[in-house]
Amino acid sequence: MWLIYFLCAIASASSLVTIQKPSYEPTWESLDTRPLPKWYDKAKIGIFIHWGVFSVPSFGSEWFWMSWKASNQSRYVDYIKNFFPPGFTYQEFAKEFTCEFFDPDEWAKIFKNSGANYVVLTSKHHEGYTLWPSKYSFSWNSMDIGPKRDLVGDLSNAVRKQGMRFGLYHSLYEWFNPMYVDDRRSNFTRKTFVDRKIIPEMKELIEKYRPDVLWSDGDWEAYDDYWKSTEFLAWVYNESPVQDTIVVNDRWGIDIPCKHGDFFTCQDRFNPGVLQKHKWENAMTIDKESWGFRRNAKLSDYLTTHQLITTLIETVSCGGNILINVGPTKEGIITPIFQERLRDLGIWLKVNGLAIYNTTPWKYQNDTIGQTWYTTSTDSVYATTLVWPKGGILKLTKVKTSFAKLKSFSSVKLLGYEKELTVKVIADEVHVLLPSKDLVKTDWAWVVRFKYNELITEYI
Ligand SMILES: *[C@@H]1O[C@H](CO)[C@@H](O)[C@H](O)[C@H]1NC(C)=O
Ligand SMILES: *[C@@H]1O[C@H](CO)[C@@H](O)[C@H](O)[C@H]1NC(C)=O
Ligand SMILES: *[C@@H]1O[C@H](CO)[C@@H](O)[C@H](O)[C@H]1NC(C)=O
């Protein structure tokens, strides 16, 4: 008892001396003033994982249940009719979500070696099944049925051991939750589902796993006042244990995406190709058709390494982070095709990461000739070309003015190649003479680094 009084006394005394932090009101106007935690913009690359009961049928997409039961798409209806006993329910898939080969340390190593700095796992998708033993998800969670494991806890520990940040995707709506269906019937004037399930569940997630990202989704049928989004986020920013580090996205109700949130995701696979005013993220998939694993995916359904690296470069040049999705199997395997894409990305980044991590967009995002995208750091401009130029001469127009102003750069080099490159200014173009391609360490895309004599503090 005395010890408790003593600790309380210390706590209240120390809170007197701490600097008053801003306190956010439950309004978008107030929440929007929160500065973006610094780690997020520097990180640039995250891994997204879609995993859940939908990984059991692994057919069509993670929307299997909806496609079958609500939209009645014949592909799904026929699939169940042909291969499952009459009366089969979606819930029966859960016991097959075995995850027997799930090795969180192995996953974390794969992600680390890809060059990613954070990992975001679907803690609960629209089906409502939670990948942690939630107090609010009785018998529809990974401890009660399926793997009998706390998948969120196991993966968060492994990811953090590798020095990466850990985030959680969370779906606000649940397609077939009776409480939600009932609230919807009232045109969302009743809020039983939000009060009894969603808010307590999100608080439980945050308090238990302290995520660095909360990636909200499934918001689109109701307004933010139904979801109590601003009240909840004021709690996240003012009171939660992750108030200084967490970043949240923009999916918090009708009309909110692309308008409010620490970073914007706008639409799936958002890749605008032009500079954005607000920090954003391109959440995209290696399997072009689906977020969840599909057993019948073809090789041509997967992005090639070149397409993946292209998307990364376009995204970062325009101020975005990339969140690269993989869909593991119900057994807990990241199939070799995903592994290979991630491994190749890591190989590319080992040589060319300077043009990605810790960079900011430049004055120009891309060059009008060729397929070249720019980024900048305090002392350099990086020009990344997605094709090896004809005759080994990279022609650029946008660095021309910088050249004229500064007379020379201290150094112009190709990342992954030691020697200085010869540069010529010809009319409106700067020509960089690249070495023979087989002397260069990487494939897929090539970075020319223009290093300035002095540190640049503003755009040139
Ligand atoms: C799909 O089938 C269910 C049950 O038969 C029915 O209630 C629902 O209205 C159907 N939906 C569509 C979009 O046809
Ligand atoms: C449902 O609520 C929305 C906004 O809360 C309102 O605009 C709409 O008219 C309502 N619909 C019905 C059928 O009452
Ligand atoms: C490159 O930038 C220009 C604007 O400078 C833009 O119009 C064009 O669409 C961009 N090219 C690509 C491939 O995105």
Task: Give the ligand at the shortest distance from the Cα of 72.
Answer: 1
φ, ψ of residue 24 in degrees (nearest 5) = -95, 140
Largest Cα separation within the chain, whole Å, is 82
Nearest to 137 by CA among 129, 147, 148: 129
Task: Give the ligand at the shortest distance from the Cα of 190.
Answer: 2
Distance between Cα 346 and ligand 2 center (Å): 49
The number of the ligand 2 atom at minimal distance from the alpha carbon of 225 is: 5
**How far apart, in whole angstroms, are the C-alpha atoms of residue 175 and residue 64?**
11
The number of the ligand 2 atom at minimal distance from the alpha carbon of 226 is: 5
Nearest to 357 by CA among 39, 136, 22, 131: 39
Q: What pLDDT is attached to residue 407?
A: 52
187 lines ligand 2 (CB under 6 A): yes
The number of the ligand 2 atom at minimal distance from the alpha carbon of 223 is: 5
Other Cβ atoms closer than 10 A to 455: 9
Q: What pLDDT is attached to residue 403?
A: 55
189 lines ligand 2 (CB under 6 A): no
Task: Name the CA dihedral angle for 411, 414, 419, 425, rounded to a multiple of 10 degrees.
Answer: -60
296 lines ligand 2 (CB under 6 A): no
Rounded average pLDDT over 301-324: 98
Task: Give the ligand at the shortest distance from the Cα of 74.
Answer: 1
Q: By alpha-carbon position, which residue is closest to atom 2 of ligand 2?
A: 187
Q: Is 444 left (phi over 0), alpha (psi -120 to 50) or beta?
A: left
Q: By alpha-carbon position, which residue is closest to atom 8 of ligand 3?
A: 368
305 lines ligand 3 (CB under 6 A): no
Q: Where are the domains of the chain?
A: 29-355, 372-459
**How far apart, in whole angstroms, are the C-alpha atoms of residue 352 and residue 422?**
20
Using CB atoms within 10 A of its CB, is residue 152 exposed (0-12), middle (13-18) or buried (19+)? buried
Q: Which residues of 1-21 are buried (b: 16+ CB within 10 A; e: fewer)?
A: eeeeeeeeeeeeeeeeeeeee
241 lines ligand 3 (CB under 6 A): no
User: Over the stretch 387-442, which tens digit does the pLDDT of each residue have?
Assistant: 999 899 999 988 865 655 545 567 899 999 999 999 888 888 889 999 999 999 88
Helix (H), strand (E) at residue 349: helix 336-352
Q: What pLDDT is attached to residue 401?
A: 59
Rounded average pLDDT over 260-268: 97
Using CB atoms within 10 A of its CB, is residue 436 exposed (0-12), middle (13-18) or buried (19+)? exposed
Reported as a pLDDT band with limits 50, 70 and 90, residue 335 is very high
Pocket test for ligand 2, best of 183, 187, 189, 254 (most atoms within 8 A of CB): 187
Nearest to 68 by CA among 77, 59, 55: 77
Is the torsion defined by CA of 292, 295, 299, 301 positive or negative?
negative
**How far apart, in whole angstroms, are the C-alpha atoms of residue 431 and residue 451?**
16
Q: What pLDDT is attached to residue 398?
A: 85
The CATH class for the domain spanning 372-459 reads mainly beta
The number of the ligand 3 atom at minimal distance from the alpha carbon of 364 is: 5
Superfamily for domain range 29-355: Glycosidases (3.20.20.80)
Distance between Cα 194 and ligand 1 center (Å): 26
Rounded average pLDDT over 365-374: 87
User: Over the stretch 438-457, which tens digit does the pLDDT of each residue have?
Assistant: 999 889 999 999 987 654 44
Q: By alpha-carbon position, which residue is closest to atom 13 of ligand 2?
A: 187
Q: By alpha-carbon position, which residue is closest to atom 12 of ligand 1?
A: 71
User: Over the stretch 227-253, which tens digit does the pLDDT of each residue have?
Assistant: 999 999 999 999 999 999 999 999 999
Least confident of 249-258, 294-303, 314-323, 405-414: 405-414
User: Over the stretch 21-59, which tens digit does the pLDDT of each residue have?
Assistant: 779 999 999 999 999 999 999 999 999 999 999 999 999
Task: Give the ligand at the shortest distance from the Cα of 386.
Answer: 3
**How far apart, in whole angstroms, are the C-alpha atoms of residue 183 and residue 194?**
9
**How far apart, in whole angstroms, are the C-alpha atoms of residue 149 and residue 253?**
32
The number of the ligand 2 atom at minimal distance from the alpha carbon of 187 is: 1
> Looking at the predicted structure, is the pLDDT value of residue 2 above 70?
no
Reported as a pLDDT band with limits 50, 70 and 90, residue 4 is very low
Q: What pLDDT is attached to residue 456?
A: 44
Using CB atoms within 10 A of its CB, is residue 328 exposed (0-12), middle (13-18) or buried (19+)? buried
Coil, helix or strand for 79?
A: helix
> Looking at the predicted structure, is the pLDDT value of residue 15 above 60?
no
- Rounded to the nearest integer, the mean pLDDT of the chain is 92
Rounded average pLDDT over 346-353: 98
φ, ψ of residue 73 in degrees (nearest 5) = -65, 130
φ, ψ of residue 137 in degrees (nearest 5) = -135, 65
**How far apart, in whole angstroms, are the C-alpha atoms of residue 405 and residue 408?**
8
Distance between Cα 269 and ligand 3 center (Å): 19
> Looking at the predicted structure, is the pLDDT value of residue 120 above 90?
yes
Q: By alpha-carbon position, which residue is closest to atom 8 of ligand 2?
A: 187
Rounded average pLDDT over 158-165: 98
Residue 161 tokens, joined: 């051991």
**Residues 183 and 194: beta-carbon distance below 8 Å:** yes
